[in-house]
Amino acid sequence: MNLDTVIFYTNDISKIIDFYQGLLNLEIEYRRDNEYVSFIFSNKVKLGIKKAIEERENPGSQTAIILLNNIDVFYQEVRNKNIVVYSELKNEDWGRTFSILDIDGNKVEFLEEY
């Protein structure tokens, strides 16, 4: 069994594309107008982002964790781009981590394992 896609919800597809392409340089795997976009990671897992239309689709309620090899360099890039840091870079038992909020308030945590 393998994870294929994680879905976030957004209020604005165009703005969320700008955010994730600007932050992570992710490649768009698929886009359906202003309703849905999916980005693909190097391990083929996808981050899908859907325009919230149903009652249960609440932007800002999701979390994703992204593994990095050099978290210190990436953390500095994030700080230089004036992106809101939700949790500052810190050492945890499982690795070095920090998190941000995207434009809808979804939490994106970055982790470099020890």
Could you read off the pLDDT of 38-97 as tens digits, one per residue?
999 999 999 999 999 999 999 999 999 999 999 999 999 999 988 989 999 999 999 999
Residue 48 has a pLDDT of 97
> What pLDDT does 103 receive?
94
Domains of the chain: 5-52+59-113 (3.10.180.10)
The model's pTM: 0.90
Instruction: Provide the 8-state DSSP code for 55.
Output: T
